[in-house]
Structure 1
């Protein structure tokens, strides 16, 4: 059985914290340093997030948020995307740590930009009802903000990205190599993005159904704290949210295979729960 790293991060007294699921998924920095996606782990590097990524254009990602969750062990962080004036989509594993819910959740817009940064509390967090952490199944959730915001939103893809398509992943997670657990998490001070390629589902051994898809790169990856972050695909020139970062496959899988929740697969639930037309 292979081990995989969730993409959210957790911090406890300044250090990453590990937990194991029934399938031995590594959930390091999921709270104060939650990896992005079922991706929850730690890393280090320059002042960027996403391993081997580059700083994202803040104007293009005004809908991207940093999600912070208060747990008894500490504060965890994930990434999310604004899909309506009061609704953010993220990963379900971010709001459920070993079956527990956080005592408080807040999202920050324009994180790292002193003049425009602000934080809004979350009134209600709703995981997909069929979420199964053991299989990383339906690992998607909605956060309903305490008040509406005047920010652009990201559109939802209705069809999956084909195999071989280039997608963009963005997040506020750790910046070091996720394959090196000895490296401490160096959280990004600003949003970081990178580009991956969709590959056949069989390439990711931990994918067990159509609720997820697999992406690959030989040199870049999502990381801890990127959990819940956007996977964007340009469909006929229109940027759409096609996935939500969940996890990465660890050795002996080849570097770097990322698992993402499929937005088209969850689209009916998202629209109905969020009250979208």
Structure 2
């Protein structure tokens, strides 16, 4: 996911989870974060991507606002996941649109991905990362994509308060379905959106969280994976489903399986509202 390389639609050996340097780890035993973007494809040896390890197919009616994000880089086409928060605005991860300091030459988003009759794609007119985005810290890893035209799809509401520790949240995405701890396994092309449930845990549980801009979730058997970067983390706040986070990265072994890092929507809410023109 993080570290700047989206999901690819052509095969390549670079379709591996990218590990971040361990210099900022709070626990020396934890090998650091893997980015949750599917790596940018190179010439001709990788494989495309599926979604969420040990998840289940999401109900398309519940996720009409979820999009697959395709990004054109010189090495090939990469992909992430995103959420429609306004008729012309999608939120995703900043590392999807900033690959080693570079920006993609073109970005498209696809609604109802995998549903033959309903699927359609719209170009992105402008991509704006959070101004203080810092890939080294995975800080403020959120970006907004402004579509070339508005759509009539439903939008997902934004949470104004963080999910408490112990809360169950839902993660969804178009990333790989294999075990993220086994990056050598093939990553088949995504067919539909996949979801899974994780539990929020104290931030100290994730050695790579360096500030309040992120929160940590855990499961012993399921996780986000490459290509899920930018995807929704949803929490039911008083019975209403809200976007509480954006998938950023995972901790690599020997961290306990599976620790996911997500950018906090409540923490970035003022910037998102002001930049997207939301009231």
Name the TM-score, length of structure 1 as normaliser: 0.90
When the two chains are superposed, the root-mean-square deviation of aligned CA atoms in Å is 2.3
Cα distance in 2 for residues equivalent to 1:215 and 1:208: 15
Residue deviations 1:174-198, cap 9 Å, x none? 0000000210212320000000000
- Do the aligned partners of residues 12 and 50 (structure 1) sit closer, same or farther apart at CA in structure 2, a change above 3 Å counting? closer
CA distance in 2, matches of 1:247, 1:54: 20
The residue number in structure 1 matching 2:131 is: 129
5+ long unaligned stretches in structure 2: 23-31
Query: Structure 1 residue 49: deviation in Å?
Result: 1.5
State the partner residue of 1:243.
245
What residue is the counterpart of 2:38 in the other structure? 29
Q: 1:42, CA displacement in angstroms?
A: 8.3
Separation in 2 of the partners of 1:7 and 1:103? Answer: 14
Counterpart in the other structure of 2:26: none
Q: Which segments of 5 or more consecutive residues in structure 1 lack a partner in the other structure?
A: 34-40
Aligned to 1:50: 52
Assess, with a 3 A threshold, how the Cα gap between structure 1 residues 209 and 155 changes in structure 2: closer, same or farther. Answer: same
Query: Which of the numbers 11, 15, 18 marks the counterpart of 2:12?
Result: 15
Corresponding position of 1:72:
74
SS in structure 2 of the partner of residue 232 of structure 1: strand
Mark the CA change 1:222 to 1:200 in structure 2 (over 3 Å): closer, same or farther.
same
In 2, Cα distance between the equivalents of 1:65 and 1:213? Answer: 23
Match of 1:272 in 2: 274
What are the Cα deviations for residues 66-114 of structure 1, in whole angstroms up to 9, with x where unaligned? 0000000010000000000000000000000000000000000000000
Question: 2:149, 2:83 → 1: CA distance?
Answer: 16
Map of 1:90-109 to 2, 5 A cutoff? Answer: 90-109=92-111
Shift of 1:252: 1.2
Rounded to whole Å, the distance in 2 between the matches of 1:146 and 1:158 is 28
Matched residue of 1:208: which SS? coil
Q: Tell me how far apart the structure 1 counterparts of residues 112 and 235 of structure 2 sit (CA, whole Å).
A: 22
Distance verdict in 2 for CA 1:5–1:269, change over 3 Å: closer
Structure 1 counterpart of 2:29: none
Any conservation in 2 of the 1:78–1:173 contact (CA below 8 Å)?
A: yes
1:223 aligns with 2:225: yes
Q: How many Å apart are 1:15 and its aligned residue?
A: 1.6
Change (3 A) 1:32 1:238: farther
SS in 2 for 1:106: strand
1:202 and 1:181 map into 2 onto residues whose CA distance is: 25
The equivalent of 1:114 in structure 2 is: 116
108, 128, 153: which one pairs with 1:151? 153
SS in 2 for 1:241: strand
Residues paired across the two proteins, number: 264
